[in-house]
Structures are given as structure tokens and as C-alpha cells.
Amino acid sequence: MRVYEVFLKPDGKEEFRHAGSIEAATDELALVLARENYARRAEGTHMWLVNRENICVSEEGFIDSNLDKPHRHNDGERVARWRKLQRNKKNNE
């Protein structure tokens, strides 16, 4: 048996989103079962199934190091404050 991750794309410009997973013996069985389990109520217009074995998974801690780098975090607040100040100055002139 294989485990597949199920992705559904709602209508329009929405992106594919993870909907869940399904266990099946073949690609075709996975497709027909995923259709009834995840898409029977018009949850999407397109469906992707990805065999879990084909997903590259990063090891534990691989992306944790970003947590303690505050200099990389910018919420844009200071720039916004400065631009607002400039705008007000210009309006007052």
C-alpha cells in the first residue's frame, strides 16, 4: 500500500491546498477513492495526488535556525512611519 497526499484547487485563482491523505494500492485506486473522500461536495476543480515517497522532506531542525535571526525580520513598521511623516510634511507645505 502507498500513502498519497491529496491537494485540491478551489475554483478561480486559488492555489492548490493540502486536503489530507489517502492510502491505496495503485494510482488509479488512489484517484477514485480520493475523489469520493475529498471532492464529493465540489470542494475543488482540480486534484493532485502525490505519492508520499516522492516528497523531499527536510530533516528535523533544518529550518529552525531562522527563529533567532531578528535582523531578518522586518514588519515594515519603521518604513511606513517614515513615509507617512514625509507625506504629511509634503501636504503641509
Residues in touch with other proteins (CB under 8 A): 22-26, 28-29, 31-33, 35-37, 40
Tell how strand 2-9 and strand 46-51 pair up.
antiparallel
d(CA 73, CA 47): 35
**Least separation in angstroms between CB 57 and other proteins:** 23
> Which is nearer to other proteins, 28 or 77 (by Cβ)?
28
**Least separation in angstroms between CB 28 and other proteins:** 5
> Which is nearer to other proteins, 19 or 24 (by Cβ)?
24
Tell how strand 46-51 and strand 17-24 pair up.
unpaired
